Chain A
Amino acid sequence: MSEVATPLIEVRNLKRYFGNSDKPVRAVDDVSFEIRAGETLGLVGESGSGKSTIGRTVLRLIERTAGQVLYRGDDLAALSGERMRRLRSKLQIIFQDPYASLNPKMRISAILDEALSTHGLAKGRRKERIAELLELVGLRPEHASRFPHEFSGGQRQRIGIARALAVEPEFIVADEPLSALDVSIQAQVINLLADLRERLSLTMLFISHDLDVVEYLCDRVVVLYLGRVMEVSTTAELFARPLHPYTQALLAASPKPDPLDKTEIIPLKGDIPSPMNPPSGCVFRTRCPHAIDACAQTIPLLADKGAGRLSACLRDDLITSPS
């Protein structure tokens, strides 16, 4: 096997706080992970986990408070405004709300043309390129002359994908791209993303709260809680044998669409704490069934628990080796 190459995206100790300085909202609190070229990394979490904020901060749509985001080894925050603007063609995003992500007053052709002309692409053959892009996402060239409101949610999401692909990106942040869609349409878009990813060799950061979709689409998963990383693992290992108590609870809480599946749902007690007032030590300790006194004292570090699986939990004693 070849040696480990520089990861395409590297996030180091990323922090993003909002609001006033003495009691800020700690949306992202010391998050680190990396994404290798060609891989799809899943970012999973509930409200307050910071997953959406991370997605936007990685693309520098929001400025970081501390930490670094490296693209091919370069710190994005160190780039000038103009260099960053031009780099954006390589780093794209698909949004959650297909009803709001397209300018309602612009025709699809204008929307796609704008993307192309911003980076000087397809000069002299815009119309053809737009037709190509529409076909790439499963729409027809004649759709170009219509307005967004003439399309369904699923179709609008396809248009959003076409727009992101128009600038020929390497890396795409997919911020809950399926949440606003019906189940039957989700399957269509999942297939589309998987196809495109393979055809265009895309690297993806897939943000979602839907574990089933993450399991289907992602190679590795980062589990977030209240702005911190709880666990990092390959998809297969995470779902087969979750190490962190939060991951275990999360998996147990999502009902499988099978009435014969007997996994007992023991719901967590209490609510997700406010990101303005996170618990001391391990942020999950207030709801963790295995919390001990030490959990309130130290913030557990994300450590290798064997076979490259990372977990931020003091209780190594709970980890049983695979049978």
Chain B
Amino acid sequence: MPRLLRQLMHRRIVMVSAALLLVIAVLALGAPWFASFDPNDTAVLDRLKAPSAAHLLGTDELGRDLYARIVHGARYSLAIAALTALGSVIAGTLLGLVAGFFRRLDTPLMRLVDAMMSFPDILLAIALVAILGPSLLNVVLALVLVYTPRVARVVRASTLVVRELLFVEAVRALGVRTSRILWRHILPNLLSPILVQVSFIFAYAILAEAGLSFLGVGVPPEIPTWGTMVAGSQQYADRAFWVVLFPGLAIILTALSLQILGDGVRDLLDPKLKKTL
């Protein structure tokens, strides 16, 4: 393990991304301490003020401090993305593991996955939110449904490989129970591809939520996520570009850092994966 970390640290851009994400996470967790203004405080006299000493990133159309909103918004955006990643990884791993290990369940489960994947992400999410109603949890649910198939496919592919490895056959020959084989021998060897998927889904979820909220079919506009911020302020963009720029930058930087980190983790784990297997 330490050797992996050492090699990870050699890649500067990955470290930069990791550092940035750490900063964002800390800001999000400790939002009230890092922002002097209340994100919901409206001050109509101060609306659409440019960035200044008092308001680091300016104010939005209702005079709310943009910096405070972004920092608080991070909580929601990151929470949605994290829950999505968690949910889709759990569901997808279960699906992929069962499909990959039990031959008879493979075809029906994978056809189900194919059906889910045949819908374009955004449309599927929009449809689901439209049916279930706009709320934070429903957005998470919709996104989990969108990303689960991707995880399932990757996990199934890896399961097919690991299942044929000699040490798995060896424990079967010992008489070890199937449940234990799945839990103790197959699953630990799937962690690498799963980890990579987690970081990518995290990134996609941030973008997806932003996109959905921007289109008005994401979380309700009262909840300050970065997406709703952009959505709500877009009509003022020509006068006060900062109201869209800064939330947008937050989205881009977070998603980009996650993807770079995901790339770094994958590159590192791939040759190791072959070696350890």
B175 lies within 8 A of A163 (CB): no
Chain B contacts of A311 at CB under 8 A? Answer: none
B112 at the interface (CB under 8 A from A): no
Q: A97 with B166: in contact, given A104-B276, A104-B277, A105-B276 (CB under 8 Å)?
A: yes
A309 at the interface (CB under 8 A from B): no
Q: Report the Cα distance A277→B227, complex, angstroms.
A: 64
Residue in B closest to A110 when the chains form the complex, CB atoms: B184
Chain B interface residue count, Cβ-Cβ cutoff 8 angstroms:
19
B277 lies within 8 A of A118 (CB): no
Chain B contacts of A95 at CB under 8 A? Answer: 166, 169-170
- Find residues 254-311 in chain A having any chain B CB closer than 8 Å to their own CB: none
Chain A contacts of B175 at CB under 8 A? Answer: 85-89, 118-119, 167
Residue in B closest to A167 when the chains form the complex, CB atoms: B174
A92 lies within 8 A of B173 (CB): yes
Q: How far is the CB of B243 from chain A (nearest CB, A)?
A: 51
Q: How far is the CB of B272 from chain A (nearest CB, A)?
A: 11
Chain A contacts of B177 at CB under 8 A? Answer: 85, 118
- Find residues 137-174 in chain A having any chain B CB closer than 8 Å to their own CB: 160, 163, 167
Binary CB contact string for chain A from 51 to 90 against chain B (1 if under 8 A, 0 otherwise): 0000000010100000000000000000000000111110
A103 at the interface (CB under 8 A from B): yes
Q: Report the Cα distance A31→B115, complex, angstroms.
A: 46
Q: A59 with B173: in contact, given A104-B276, A105-B188, A105-B189 (CB under 8 Å)?
A: yes
Q: Report the Cα distance A101→B166, complex, angstroms.
A: 5
B167 lies within 8 A of A61 (CB): no
A93 at the interface (CB under 8 A from B): yes
A103 lies within 8 A of B172 (CB): no
B16 at the interface (CB under 8 A from A): no
B195 at the interface (CB under 8 A from A): no
A100 at the interface (CB under 8 A from B): yes
Residue in A closest to B184 when the chains form the complex, CB atoms: A114
Chain A contacts of B189 at CB under 8 A? Answer: 105
Q: How far is the CB of A204 from chain B (nearest CB, A)?
A: 15
B13 at the interface (CB under 8 A from A): no
Chain B contacts of A196 at CB under 8 A? Answer: none
Chain A contacts of B167 at CB under 8 A? Answer: 100-104
Q: How far is the CB of A310 from chain B (nearest CB, A)?
A: 29
Binary CB contact string for chain B from 170 to 187 against chain A (1 if under 8 A, 0 otherwise): 111111110010001100
Q: Report the Cα distance A115→B176, complex, angstroms.
A: 8
Chain A contacts of B174 at CB under 8 A? Answer: 88, 92, 114-115, 118, 163, 167
What is B's interface to A at a CB cutoff of 8 Å?
165-167, 169-177, 180, 184-185, 188-189, 276-277
Given A85-B177, A95-B169, 14 extra CB contacts under 8 A = A61-B169, A61-B173, A85-B175, A86-B175, A92-B174, A97-B166, A100-B165, A101-B170, A104-B277, A105-B188, A114-B176, A115-B174, A119-B175, A167-B175
